[in-house]
Each structure stands twice: as C-alpha cells, then as structure tokens.
Structure 1
Amino acid sequence: MTATAIEPSAWASDLRPLLLSLRPRFAEAILDGTKTVELRRTRLSAPDGTHLILYASSPVMAVVGTAVLVGRDTDTPARIWRRHRKNSGLLRHEYDEYFAGADLATALHVGFPHRLADPWPLSVLRGTAKFQPPQSYRFVSDDDPAQLRSLVDAGSSRR
C-alpha cells in the first residue's frame, strides 16, 4: 500500500482525534518531517484524515504537536520493514526488538505535522481535567482536557 496525501477539504471534522504516545525522539522526527511512518504492534481502526495529537513520553511528558493520519498498512513485520524502513526512524535491530513475537505490524502514514509553539506538559493537562496519556494510543474522549479538542479545531483552521 502506498500512502497518498489527501486534500484537507476531504477531512471530516467529526472524526475523533487520536492521542499517540511516542518516545520523544520519534515525536521530534515526525515534527521535523524526517519520520513519516509510525509503527504499532496492533491494527489501528481509524480512517484516513483522523487528526493525531502527539504526546512525547518521558522525560518530556508533554503534548508537542499534531499531525494527520494519511494511510495505514498492516502486514507481517518482515513485509512492513521492507516497505517502510526508510521512513520509520528505526535501525533494523530496534525494529526486530520491537516486533519480536508479533504476527502483525501496522505502519501509520503520518502527514501534515505541526509543532506546538509551547508544548503542553502533563502537569498542565492534569490541572484542568483527569488525564492519563495512553501507553500506545487512544481516541480523545469528552473527559479529556478541553485543550486537546481545541488542538484539532485549531489545526483544521491552519490548513
């Protein structure tokens, strides 16, 4: 599968945004545009055009930016590596370690990255609502801080 850019006008504003937890190195690479594929050990059921909120895990522990899901590719880890290694930001031994024992791998094609001018630390997010960042990913809920939902609205108006 090859990811293609979709026109911003085709994005549905009613899609629930997805909160992705990333190691800081990978969040930075996505925001720099040097990493366009995020890898997961599970299949993701979110449609193209889903807004992504990027949370950098420890030691950063902050929401650092946004992006858009522009495609998905699920297959065996060996096939995903062959197709997406150049855009994954991983060395082969890191990839093999991450997918050890997994039957499937999913490559999330990420586009339209936007870095927040001021990251939102976990302490600030927890100060406005009960907030727990995900281990991997989860959809943003109505119980999450209002800032998370406003990120998506602001991101839509920037495009």
Structure 2
Amino acid sequence: MNDPERAMLLSVHPRFATAILAGSKTVEVRRQRVAAPPGTLVLLYATAPTMALVGTARIAAVHVASPKEVWSAHRTQTGISRREYDTYMRGATQASGLTLEAPHSFDEPVTLSALRAAGAFHPPQSYRYMKGDELLQVAVAGPVVGTTLREALGDLVSA
C-alpha cells in the first residue's frame, strides 16, 4: 500500500457485505473514479438495517472505465444483475470496479452506536478515506476491529 496510514471506509448494503466477506462477490462497483492503490485496507460498513462495521478486505486492483467496459470485464464478480447495474449506473460517464481480496469477517460487528460512542463517526454515502486518529477511534470502538487494524496497519494503531 502506498500510504500505510490510509484505509478506505466503504459503505455497502448488508447483502453485499455478506457476499464480499463470503468471497462470492469480489468486485464492488462505484459510479465515480476511485484512486486507491493495490493493498489498501477496506473497512466494510454494512448500511441499514445492520449499521455496523462487519469486516475488512484489501483492494487488489481498481479498473476505471466506462460503465459498459466495467460491466463487461467484471459482471460475474459483482454479485448483481445487469438490471441492478444499469439502474445504479444510469447517467454515469465513468465507473470503477474495485477488485477485493483477503476478506475477513469480524467475530462481532461494531455497531454505529459503539463507533459514535468512541468519537464523531459518520459513515459515508459511498466511501471515504480514513487516516491516523480516525483509525485509532475505530480501533477503540471494538476490540476485534482494533486487533484487525493493528495486524493490517502495524504500529499506527497500537497505542
């Protein structure tokens, strides 16, 4: 990873989080250009009704192209139908296919309320990057998350 202090917080519907963590969905699609180097740690936040951090994965590659090209290259790995994809991508001129590897489920999800109790935590609509203090805050919110982050990021979060 080019920036070992940076991780991506990725919001996904619970069914997609489950599929990513099971290894059956290996490509997550986004409507905008994603610039994350291979090896970037991804924290998976499952949206409502789960509303919790549920695990991690790593970015193996990012394919940025037209929505048609991203679909053609990754359709069998996205875990969605062509109709769902077309509806999601309607009006987009660019798409990103994030190939994910090394999924790891947390033994217990870290709830939104626990994350907020540890500090000001706001899950993104799509994704955002987190660094240093924010990652420490997440590590404090849940001991399993802390262990995973310590393993993934080394000394950064081992306070």
**TM superposition score normalised by structure 2:** 0.86
Q: Contact 1:20–1:53 at 8 Å: present in 2 too?
A: yes
Partner deviation per Cα, 1:38-90 (whole Å, 9 max, x = no partner): 00001111111100000000000000000000101011111111110000001
Are 2:144 and 1:154 equivalent residues in the alignment?
A: no
Partner of 1:107: 97
Structure 1: how far apart are the matches of 2:109 and 2:118?
15
* Residues paired across the two proteins, number: 147
Are 2:48 and 1:48 equivalent residues in the alignment?
A: no
Runs of 4+ deviating beyond 4 Å: none
Structure 2: how far apart are the matches of 1:43 and 1:15?
21
CA spacing shift, 1:117–1:135, aligned 2, 3 Å: same
Letter in 2 for 1:31: L
Structure 2's unaligned 5+ residue stretches are: 155-159
Q: Note the C-alpha offset of 1:147.
A: 1.2
SS of 1:103's equivalent in the other structure is coil
Q: Contact 1:20–1:55 at 8 Å: present in 2 too?
A: yes
Identity between Structure 1 and Structure 2 (%): 42
**TM superposition score normalised by structure 1:** 0.86
Partner of 1:17: 7
Structure 1's unaligned 5+ residue stretches are: 1-10
Structure 1: how far apart are the matches of 2:14 and 2:60?
21
SS of 2:80's equivalent in the other structure is coil
Structure 2: how far apart are the matches of 1:43 and 1:25?
23
User: What RMSD in Å do the two structures reach over aligned CA positions?
Assistant: 1.8
As a proportion of its length, which structure holds more helix?
A: 2
Q: Note the C-alpha offset of 1:143.
A: 4.6
User: Which of 143-152 and 47-56 deviates more?
Assistant: 143-152
CA spacing shift, 1:106–1:12, aligned 2, 3 Å: closer
Q: Contact 1:66–1:155 at 8 Å: present in 2 too?
A: no
Q: Contact 1:63–1:119 at 8 Å: present in 2 too?
A: yes
Partner of 2:157: none
Partner of 2:111: 121
User: Which of 108-117 and 141-150 deviates more?
Assistant: 141-150
User: Which of 138-147 and 112-121 deviates more?
Assistant: 138-147
Q: Contact 1:15–1:50 at 8 Å: present in 2 too?
A: no
